[in-house]
Structure 1
Amino acid sequence: MKRILVLLAIVGTLGLTAWTLLTNKKEVEAKVYKPDANLKVGVRTAKAELRNLSQETEFLGSFSPNREAEVRPQEGGQITQLPIQEGQSVSAGRLIAKIDDEQLRLQVEGLQVTLEGYQNDLKRYENLVKGDATPAVNLERTQLSIRSTQAQIKQLQKRIANTTITAPFSGIITEKMVEKGSVIGTGSPIAKITDISSLKLVVEIPESSVNQFRVGQSLPIETEVYPDTRFTGRITMIAAQGDAAHNYPIEITVPNSGKNMLRAGMYGSIANTNKLKASTLAVPRQAILGSSKQPQIYVVENGKAVLKSVEIGATTNEYYEITKGLKVGDQVVTSGQINLQNGTPVVAQ
């Protein structure tokens, strides 16, 4: 009898446990979200269309002067004139500085007196040689002395000319390194002159893009300081050798005139448009799912999202070329794919 009661108790306990588990399962299932098969998911779409695919790349560089040089004298001495100021515009040949040449002129004056004496001796020796009154060698020595003195005078005159320092080309005095009255040596810098009548925009171009440029090519140029002004430049140099990062500098010469004056050191940029494909089927980048090896796209057909495998070709920042899997006019999903499964009802927003 006791065994029967224990057995009944165990059976009752198991039955109660089973009933409790079944009740809990029903409660859990009731709380689980079950999607409505007829509920439409809002998505954004775009049409697969024929497009001319092109990629625009912007390259940034800085302007450098057309020419820049330090003005250095070929003759030393005290500066007696210095009619320049920093920021002043000067034309080619304009006086930059004058160095004291008094000592050189006095030397020329002394040599001219010596030359005059030799010339008088030459006349006397010519008459004496004709009458055999003196050896011809005296005449020859006097002639050589005259030639030597004339050469010394020319040398001094050249040095006197070098005491007048002029601008080698038109430009702006960007630095004055001495003051009037200073004593300088041969080759000491006096001033720096910079020519910005035209500027050179130096841009680093990566290896993958350098073959898209050529010498003589005209390019539009934009600057941050004049955002509403478009400048035009011409490529004058493409480097034959790149740096360690495989970048190749190119120089673009830009005329610098008008009210919007560019200055050396400013930034400028060029945009290069590389035409990838003409009239090819393309979709926005946002429509592509998966990897580049196995791309997929949701296409809206009869109000439902249909997942299709496609093949892609050329790409830009905005579009992918579709080489297989779509046709012109297909409506592709570009936003909301996270809420979709194959066959989900959708509505375009």
Structure 2
Amino acid sequence: MRKILLAIIGVLLIVASYLGAKQLIANKNKPKPVEAKVVKTVYTDTVFNSNIKIVIQANGSLVAKRRVELYAEVQGIFKPSNKLFKPGQKYSKGEALIRIDASEHYASVQSSKSNLYNAIAAIMPDLRLDFSEVFQKWQTYLNGFDLSKTTPKLPEMTSEKENYFITGRGIISSYYNVKNLEQRLSKYNIVAPFSGILTEALVTEGSLIRSGQKLGEFIDPSVYEMEVALSKSYATLLKVGEAVTLTNLDKTEAYTGKVSRVNGSIDATTQTITAYIEVKDTKLKEGMYLEANLNAKEEQDAIEIDRNLLLDNEQVFIIKDSLLDVINVKPIYFSDTKVVLKNIPNGTIILKKAVPGAYAGMHVKAVEVNTTTNDSVQ
């Protein structure tokens, strides 16, 4: 019985092997399916060389063109006035910013002026007798001498003899001593050199002010300047008076300025040149961050494309007979998103948008994008 079962199993194995081999042979003879070739659709543009205006983009913060840092040259108590010495306070030209108590120094000035007056009065009898020809001008000077006003200039000496006489009596030294004290007295009142606004206040009314102490900052809010650093290659292209368009970072506001100054030296560390842009607008504030677009020059026979279309080896993709190819180009100027190129013949078809995984010889389907047409939405 066992032998019969083994024989049946053997026959079944032989039949199964035969059928399996026959199936393998049949599958081997079937043709392999051909994979469909994928053709990518690309956006293209036709090259038309023209004059491209190179616009240099730079940014910086605004600083008031006219600003004054206020320092004390004398010591005393800060006297209160009609306006509080606080940031944001406006002052007109010639209006007192800070008044320091000068009563002690004022007394010294009056004492010196009185001594000068007495010294001149003491020589008048001698002038009448020995210098009758100059007596009248000194008498007129003495009559016009007012202790409550600024000391007037001494009469002009008309002879060497008169000069020796006046100098010998100490009149000249007394006069200049008084003028020195009067000059120092003027430093107790700090006035606005122009109409503007206080941006920093470091002292308050009633506080003791010391000589050399910083008191605050005062600016003219009508005119601002922005300092920008540009590549040294544009040193010869920047022109004073050139119009500049400025925008805020959100691109919601635009302002018009001009190049007011260009530094005559190049920074040795960064190899950049500094230009200053002047701008006027009531909306501007000191410290605002703006972006400037400076018209540097105009490049002839060039085109402008996206930077991501330029390959690392200074080549760009072109399309010939539905195949991608590369062509050598000459980059002229790079901005954040654009590049200006030369040496591309007119009529050349180039990519308008970058294609991931693109390579020379790649089969593509071109769709032209006409960038010169302006479509209006009705």
- TM-score, normalised via structure 1 length: 0.69
Equivalent position SS for 2:64: strand
CA shift at 1:287, angstroms? 7.6
What's the CA shift string for 1:284-334, capped at 9, x where partnerless?
88888x7647765332x4xxx24555443446736755546xx62758796
Match of 1:312 in 2: 329
Aligned residues: 311
Match of 2:298 in 1: 275
Contact kept, 8 Å, 2:324 with 2:364, in 1: the verdict is: no
Matches within 5 A, 1:77-116: 77-84=76-83, 85=85, 86-115=87-116
Distance 2:124 2:63 in 1: 64
What's the CA shift string for 1:76-109, capped at 9, x where partnerless?
2222244443211212211112222322333344
Matches within 5 A, 1:153-172: 153-172=178-197
- TM-score, normalised via structure 2 length: 0.64
CA shift at 1:150, angstroms? 3.4
Contact kept, 8 Å, 1:277 with 1:314, in 2: the verdict is: no
Equivalent position SS for 1:264: coil
For structure 1, the residue ranges without an aligned partner over 5 or more in a row are 1-14, 131-138
Match of 1:328 in 2: 347
Match of 2:241 in 1: 216
Match of 1:52 in 2: 50
Match of 2:272 in 1: 247
Matches within 5 A, 1:18-57: 30=32, 34-36=34-36, 41=39, 43-52=41-50, 54=52, 55-57=54-56
For structure 2, the residue ranges without an aligned partner over 5 or more in a row are 1-17, 132-163, 369-378
Matches within 5 A, 1:154-303: 154-224=179-249, 227-257=252-282, 261-272=283-294, 274-278=297-301, 292=313, 297-299=318-320, 301=321
Q: Which has the higher strand share?
A: 1
Distance 2:169 2:49 in 1: 88
Equivalent position SS for 2:203: coil
CA shift at 1:203, angstroms? 1.1
Equivalent position SS for 2:257: strand
Contact kept, 8 Å, 2:318 with 2:350, in 1: the verdict is: no
Aligned with 1:151 (options 176, 180, 203) = 176
Using the aligned pairs only, state the percent identity: 18
Distance 2:88 2:40 in 1: 65
* Pair 229,118 (structure 1): closer, same or farther in 2 beyond 3 Å: closer
Distance 1:150 1:283 in 2: 77
Distance 1:215 1:109 in 2: 53
Match of 1:3 in 2: none
Equivalent position SS for 2:41: strand
